[in-house]
Amino acid sequence: MKIERIVIAKGKSVPVNGPEGEWNKTFYQLEALLAEGDNIQVIKADLENMIDYWLSTGSKPVETAINVESLPWTDFKNKKGAWIFSKKVEAKSLLEKLKQRPDKTLEIGDYKYTISGDQGQFISRFKKAEQVQKA
């Protein structure tokens, strides 16, 4: 039997807010193409060690960039904030990020974003300073 490639995959799940709350899952998969004379055991160990190191560093996932300024915001009548329908295709990434947060809020730049409406049909945004004044 000739082995031409090896694939190693490992993952780790960590509770965000205790075991009953949300969990973050990190998963890595590496593939190595083997050349004539390669020691498969050494390559396997190297790949496993690399993934183990990545999993053990505990680094937080990098936030996906969301271009919130390009969304079609509608100003509130009092001009103190703005809103968008959460079902809009353009708002999908922002809505997913908000749903992942325990408090359903997210701060990006000078604004604080939150899911609003009695059925979550809106995403609202307010300048951080205006949020403090409203409270």
Q: pLDDT tens across 58-100, in order?
A: 544 444 456 788 889 999 988 889 999 999 888 888 998 898 8
Provide mean pLDDT across the span 116-126: 93
**Tokens at 73, concatenated:** 């915001």
pLDDT value at 128 more than 60: yes
Domain boundaries, the chain: 5-56, 68-134
Of 47-51, 54-58, 103-107, give the lowest mean pLDDT range.
Answer: 54-58
**Single pTM value for the model:** 0.49
Q: How long is the chain?
A: 135
Q: In this predicted structure, what is the pLDDT of residue 73?
A: 92
For residue 7, which of 29, 40, 38 has the smallest C-alpha distance?
A: 29
Q: In this predicted structure, what is the pLDDT of residue 4?
A: 86
Provide mean pLDDT across the span 17-25: 77
Report d(CA 85, CA 120) in Å as an integer.
Answer: 9
Asked if residue 106 lies in contact with residue 132, where contact means CB atoms within 8 angstroms, the answer is: no
